[in-house]
Amino acid sequence: MKGAVVYYSRYGNNEKTAKAVMQGLEESGQEVDLINAKDKKELAAGYEFLVVGSPTRAGRTSGPVKKFIKKNVGDDWKGKPFAAFGTCLNRACEKGEPTAAKDIHKELSQRGLHPVTEAFDNAVSGMKGPLAPDGEESAREFGRKVGESLAG
Ligand SMILES: Cc1cc2nc3c(=O)[nH]c(=O)nc-3n(C[C@H](O)[C@H](O)[C@H](O)COP(=O)(O)O)c2cc1C
């Protein structure tokens, strides 16, 4: 299947996460375009799945990703598969506080898309990072899992 990984990143941690998720998707046989929400590109009509990620802002999705979803994810996306990921402060997300990944998961579900798995939170140790030492590998694993669910 062909789809897109859409992300935004201010300090680079969610970008690393997005690239690792993309790698995992490709390893499981999916074809993927990487789109930075800030570039304001449109989603091509032929995409069959969507994977969206954002850094957490006050427990919610960052502005560029929110805007991207509002502009690009309309009724034509209803019933299509999606997965959500994001970065969050370890002291917040490990306590189960609200995160961008969970917010995106809820938003896309409400728009009628079908989740292939739970939202994936990738923890950073401070505002600017870094990710945990196994953070990129965990993101790659998440991408592989999403890709396998899409295939099977
Ligand atoms: C204005 C602002 C608000 C934030 N609010 C939260 C928050 O509510 N919860 C949280 O876990 N992290 C919060 N963070 C920290 C972000 O999670 C962190 O900066 C981000 O995940 C790093 O990703 P990036 O390198 O891709 O920008 C906030 C950061 C900023 C700048």
Please choose, from the candidates 42, 103, 111, 115, the residue with its C-alpha nearest in 3D space to the C-alpha of residue 77: 111
- Tell me the CATH number at 115: 3.40.50.360
β-sheet bridge partners, residue 88? 123
Residue 94 has pLDDT above 90, yes or no: no
| Measured distance between the N- and C-terminal CA atoms of the chain, rounded to whole angstroms | 11
Mutation to probe ligand 1, out of 54, 66, 87 (largest number of atoms < 8 A from CB): 87
Give the pLDDT score at 152.
79
How many structural domains are present in the chain?
1
Is this prediction's pTM over 0.95? yes
**Beta carbons of 23 and 59 less than 8 angstroms apart:** no
At 104-132, the pLDDT tens digits run 999 999 999 999 999 999 999 999 999 99
What's the CA-to-centroid distance between 57 and ligand 1, angstroms? Answer: 5
Task: For residue 125, give both structure tokens.
Answer: 């140790």
Containing domain of residue 50, as a range? 2-151
CB atoms within 10 A of CB 120: 24
116 lines ligand 1 (CB under 6 A): no
